[in-house]
Chain A
Amino acid sequence: MSQMRLSFLLPLVAFGILALVGGMALYGTLSGSRDPTQLPSVFVDKPAPQTSLPRLVQTGSATGNNVSVTMFQGKPVLVNFFASWCAPCRAEAPALEMLSKRVAILGIAYKDRGEDTTAFLQQYGNPFQAIGMDADGRTGIEWGVYGVPETYLLDANGVVKLRHAGPLTRGVLETTIFPALEALGS
């Protein structure tokens, strides 16, 4: 008889699990601890991809032909994928400006043309220590980029510590970026 009883309980138990999953997910979304638009990056706690890109030549500095992440070995660096055609990138310009005083930023212009990128930087400011041109988006795919803007924080050894997809807003800076920078001693 008890075996039978158990099988009558089964639907309720199955439903309970479903409701629990749904409830946890809702709670996470409402409390902000879960953001369905953020895909966790595969590279967290792994070395950043080896990248070497043509440098965007700005009037004045033109030392060497290519930029790469290894240029920044020995100190933390932010890698920011942006584009002139990307609206949220304009919104995060002030945030990048502020960050550039604390940490070096490597900018990668994603699927952009040199003249458009230059115009963008002239209009919104240039917070980048160096800028690489990823004209066909291949480097973006190497890094697992799925949209712009995206920002990666690398530690002094070139290991990725975090990835944020989307513009760096005030909230994101305070909850995510600043704590991570402090942890790296910057």
Chain B
Amino acid sequence: MIAELGHFALITAFILSLAQGVLPLFGAARGNSAMMLIAPAAAISVALAVAFSFGALVWGFITSDFSLALVANHSHSTKPMIYKISGTWGNHEGSLLLWILILAIYGGVLALGGSAMPMALKARILAVQGMVTTGFLAFSLFTSNPFLRLANIPLDGKGLNPILQDPGLAIHPPMLYLGYVGLSMAFAFAVAALITGEVDRLWAKWMRPWIMAAWCALTCGIALGSWWAYYELGWGGWWFWDPVENASLMPWLAATALLHSAIVVEKRGQLKSWTVLLAIMAFSLSLVGTFIVRSGLLTSVHSFASDPARGVFVLAILLFAVGIPLALYAWRGPQLVTTADFTLTSREGGLIANNMLLVVATAIVLLGTFYPLGLEMVTGARITVGPPYFDATFNPVMALLMVFMAIGPVMAWRRGQTARLRPVLICAAVGAGIVALAGSSFAFGFGIGPLAALGLIGWLGAGIGADIWQQLKPNGTAGIGARAKRIPNDVIGMWVAHFGVVIFMLGAVGDNLFNSEQVVRAKPGDVIQIADRNVTFTGVKQVEGPNYQALAAQLEYRDEDGRFFALLTPEKRVYNAERQTTTEAAIRPTLRGDDYAVLGDGDSKIGYTLRLYYKPLVSWIWGGAVIMALGGLIAAFGRQRAATKQASPQQNTASALSTPDGGA
């Protein structure tokens, strides 16, 4: 009954979002307020309807309603409740409904807020949003209905893939979707701007919180996914250049470029057409990601069950949602071009360099991901483009970006100047040298690559530090405290976010260069040495879990003085319902590094294979990403401080509207 109501709510949402997508555009074109007001009303209704529908589906999973085909195929009565709930989106149909839910909620939030926006602009934005939502609702209702019932109700479900029964999975997709789908708002802003042919600084100002929210969520979502792969897949790796990972990285790169270029539009009124293009590209890449995951064309450890027929529907959505705006851009884009009034050696130039490098990186990942498919279509040959390719092409571009990261924020707008720049450059260069030398003293004989990586870390870290010091040091008229109070939030956010990059690099480089590993076949009583630890393998124990049986190795960790400090129990689990075996690594994370232990094959006679690792600083990888997101959050609440210093908001609005490129 509830599922049928949920289905009905979904159909209602489809009709409402269709209205939301079409009518307000006519209203905005004719200045008809009644038609324009349909937009927020419809958006809120759609959000409520989809929320109810999603709730109905979750209810089906919670109550283990096996008459629902989806629940029967992906759940089991003995699953812990949290995984019953998260199982809702551990499959294609449910995750698609989650995607639609977040789309609808974003639209609803804009409908409720955004009171400063002119009605016509808001109507157009919500209309574009509505069209995208309609497309996805159609996808769900016509090809991927989550509410299908089974004629013969099974006694119990088929269970959820054990690898997915994990707290990381519970949060990873919702967080990721908050990012992917959040970019649809920036997309809607951009398409609305193309429809009217006008972009102004207020437009960029209103768009900014949506970009930041999506970017922060996407950063966290990708970090979560990477961390989950690290502890769940048992290899200790955290990035594999897998097509689905690439699908999440590409929108992130584009969104990073977007949030930087939007700054230039907001502050200087420059780079308008470029920002519009980036906003379209970022969400388009989210959609391309959806295509990759759900069409089954690219093999990946992450794909849902592949179904080419669904791929056709996603391709159709892509053609409309990406093709039309890009055509619009080709037509209307040149109208948005403004005359440049800056030299290339200025902050604008630095941000252009940032954007160019990020877009090149995005293009590299896109090409590498699709090249095997493209080549196969042309010549029939099958090749693989794997991590070695991306390491050779993507990493140097990112390295260049890091170089500019220390320089760009220090340059002045318009003409650039060297007074502030030179001390920062000197500090950065010195920092680079120190870290490179210090790092290489830890381990002999480093090659050029590792030295360069260490140098980059020192360069960026020292550069940021020098910039901060320059801004804070007492300069005769004000002490540190007074100077600190005057720094706007978005500058603090930038420092924090860029610092997050340094932390991330320290983690990546620390783990890659300084890790230790031991692979042994051990019998009970054996002592294995790894890094500065002595590990005693005392044997294996049978463990019974809620829905699995496990063999757990008992590893006693002692430090150099023989003091016991941890017991690690890596497991090999057999899940009853799904009849699948998984390996659960035992990880002891600390700030200094992770102890990582994996139990391999074997028995009591010949002993067990044990793989022990010590990974220095590896959690800094995800810590750095979280710090980056934090910086974004700080910057999102950005203009508060600066605004109170300048004219009041009303005056700002009035002055902006009086300029030729005023709001729509």
Residues of A within 8 A of B (CB): 1, 4-5, 8-9, 11-12, 15-16, 18-19, 21-26, 28-30, 34, 36, 39-40
When distances are taken between beta carbons in the complex, the residues of chain B under 8 Å from A24 are 377
Asked whether A9 and B312 contact (CB < 8 A) given A22-B297, A40-B382, the answer is: no
B309 adjacent to A30 (CB under 8 Å): yes
- A8-B318 Cα distance, complex, nearest whole Å: 19
| Most chain A CB inside 10 Å of its own CB: which residue of B297, B370, B380 | B297
A36: shortest Cβ distance to chain B, in Å?
A: 7
Asked whether A11 and B277 contact (CB < 8 A) given A21-B374, A39-B382, the answer is: yes
Contact with A along B259-288 (1 / 0, CB 8 A): 000000000000001000100110010001
B516: shortest Cβ distance to chain A, in Å?
A: 32
Let me know if B495 is at the binding interface, CB within 8 A.
no
A8 adjacent to B333 (CB under 8 Å): yes
A19 adjacent to B318 (CB under 8 Å): yes
B61: shortest Cβ distance to chain A, in Å?
A: 31
Q: From the candidates A12, A18, A25, A29, name the one contacting B330 in the complex (CB within 8 A).
A: A12
Contact with A along B372-407 (1 / 0, CB 8 A): 011011001110000000000000000000000000
B281 adjacent to A11 (CB under 8 Å): yes
B406: shortest Cβ distance to chain A, in Å?
A: 30
When distances are taken between beta carbons in the complex, the residues of chain B under 8 Å from A12 are 323, 326-327, 329-330
Q: From the candidates A8, A23, A28, A36, name the one contacting B329 in the complex (CB within 8 A).
A: A8
When distances are taken between beta carbons in the complex, the residues of chain B under 8 Å from A23 are 315
Let me know if B45 is at the binding interface, CB within 8 A.
no
A19 adjacent to B319 (CB under 8 Å): yes
B376 adjacent to A25 (CB under 8 Å): yes
When distances are taken between beta carbons in the complex, the residues of chain B under 8 Å from A16 are 323
When distances are taken between beta carbons in the complex, the residues of chain B under 8 Å from A21 are 370, 373-374, 377
Interface size of B by CB at 8 A reads: 36
- A11-B325 Cα distance, complex, nearest whole Å: 10
B312 adjacent to A26 (CB under 8 Å): yes
Let me know if B322 is at the binding interface, CB within 8 A.
yes
Which residue from chain B places its CB closest to the CB of A17 in the assembled complex? B374
| Most chain B CB inside 10 Å of its own CB: which residue of A15, A19, A39, A40 | A15
- A165-B556 Cα distance, complex, nearest whole Å: 47
A15 adjacent to B334 (CB under 8 Å): no
- A34-B381 Cα distance, complex, nearest whole Å: 12
A-B contact pairs, 17 of them (CB 8 A): A5-B334, A12-B330, A15-B284, A15-B326, A18-B288, A19-B315, A19-B318, A19-B322, A22-B311, A23-B315, A25-B373, A25-B377, A26-B295, A26-B312, A29-B296, A29-B297, A30-B309
Which residue from chain A places its CB closest to the CB of B381 in the assembled complex? A40
When distances are taken between beta carbons in the complex, the residues of chain B under 8 Å from A36 are 297, 299
Beyond the given pairs A18-B370, A25-B297, 19 more chain A to chain B contacts, judged by CB atoms under 8 angstroms and listed by A's residue number, are A5-B334, A8-B329, A8-B333, A15-B326, A19-B318, A19-B322, A19-B323, A21-B373, A21-B377, A22-B315, A22-B373, A23-B315, A25-B376, A25-B377, A26-B315, A29-B308, A36-B299, A40-B380, A40-B381
When distances are taken between beta carbons in the complex, the residues of chain B under 8 Å from A5 are 330, 334
When distances are taken between beta carbons in the complex, the residues of chain B under 8 Å from A26 are 295, 297, 308, 311-312, 315
- A15-B284 Cα distance, complex, nearest whole Å: 9
Which residue from chain A places its CB closest to the CB of B326 in the assembled complex? A12
- A139-B299 Cα distance, complex, nearest whole Å: 27
- A119-B280 Cα distance, complex, nearest whole Å: 63
B334 adjacent to A8 (CB under 8 Å): yes
Let me know if B575 is at the binding interface, CB within 8 A.
no
- A23-B317 Cα distance, complex, nearest whole Å: 12
When distances are taken between beta carbons in the complex, the residues of chain A under 8 Å from B504 are none
- A19-B22 Cα distance, complex, nearest whole Å: 26
Which residue from chain A places its CB closest to the CB of B336 in the assembled complex? A8
A40: shortest Cβ distance to chain B, in Å?
A: 6
Which residue from chain A places its CB closest to the CB of B311 in the assembled complex? A26
Asked whether A8 and B330 contact (CB < 8 A) given A15-B323, A19-B323, the answer is: yes
When distances are taken between beta carbons in the complex, the residues of chain A under 8 Å from B366 are 18
Which residue from chain A places its CB closest to the CB of B310 in the assembled complex? A26
Let me know if B52 is at the binding interface, CB within 8 A.
no
Q: Which of B284-307 contact A (CB under 8 A)?
A: 284, 288, 291, 295-297, 299
A143: shortest Cβ distance to chain B, in Å?
A: 17
When distances are taken between beta carbons in the complex, the residues of chain A under 8 Å from B299 are 36
The 4 A-B pairs at the shortest CB distance, nearest first, are namely: A12-B326, A29-B308, A8-B333, A9-B330
When distances are taken between beta carbons in the complex, the residues of chain A under 8 Å from B284 are 15
- A23-B380 Cα distance, complex, nearest whole Å: 15
A11 adjacent to B319 (CB under 8 Å): no
Which residue from chain B places its CB closest to the CB of A16 in the assembled complex? B323
- A18-B376 Cα distance, complex, nearest whole Å: 13
A78: shortest Cβ distance to chain B, in Å?
A: 24
When distances are taken between beta carbons in the complex, the residues of chain B under 8 Å from A15 are 284, 322-323, 326
A45: shortest Cβ distance to chain B, in Å?
A: 14
- A19-B373 Cα distance, complex, nearest whole Å: 12
Asked whether A30 and B312 contact (CB < 8 A) given A11-B277, A22-B297, the answer is: yes
Which residue from chain A places its CB closest to the CB of B328 in the assembled complex? A12
When distances are taken between beta carbons in the complex, the residues of chain A under 8 Å from B376 are 25, 34
Which residue from chain B places its CB closest to the CB of A6 in the assembled complex? B330
A35: shortest Cβ distance to chain B, in Å?
A: 11
Q: Which of B65-120 contact A (CB under 8 A)?
A: none
When distances are taken between beta carbons in the complex, the residues of chain B under 8 Å from A29 are 296-297, 308, 311
When distances are taken between beta carbons in the complex, the residues of chain B under 8 Å from A1 are 334
Which residue from chain B places its CB closest to the CB of A24 in the assembled complex? B377
B334 adjacent to A22 (CB under 8 Å): no
When distances are taken between beta carbons in the complex, the residues of chain A under 8 Å from B382 are 39-40
When distances are taken between beta carbons in the complex, the residues of chain A under 8 Å from B374 are 21
| Most chain A CB inside 10 Å of its own CB: which residue of B277, B280, B309, B311 | B311
When distances are taken between beta carbons in the complex, the residues of chain A under 8 Å from B370 are 18, 21
Q: From the candidates A11, A22, A39, name the one contacting B295 in the complex (CB within 8 A).
A: A22
Which residue from chain A places its CB closest to the CB of B318 in the assembled complex? A19
Asked whether A30 and B333 contact (CB < 8 A) given A11-B326, A15-B284, A24-B377, the answer is: no
When distances are taken between beta carbons in the complex, the residues of chain A under 8 Å from B288 are 18
A22 adjacent to B291 (CB under 8 Å): yes
Which residue from chain A places its CB closest to the CB of B308 in the assembled complex? A29
Which residue from chain B places its CB closest to the CB of A11 in the assembled complex? B326
When distances are taken between beta carbons in the complex, the residues of chain A under 8 Å from B380 are 40
- A5-B331 Cα distance, complex, nearest whole Å: 8
| Most chain B CB inside 10 Å of its own CB: which residue of A21, A30, A34, A39 | A21
Which residue from chain B places its CB closest to the CB of A10 in the assembled complex? B330
When distances are taken between beta carbons in the complex, the residues of chain B under 8 Å from A30 are 308-309, 312
When distances are taken between beta carbons in the complex, the residues of chain A under 8 Å from B291 are 22
Which residue from chain B places its CB closest to the CB of A38 in the assembled complex? B382
When distances are taken between beta carbons in the complex, the residues of chain B under 8 Å from A8 are 273, 329-330, 333-334
- A21-B465 Cα distance, complex, nearest whole Å: 47
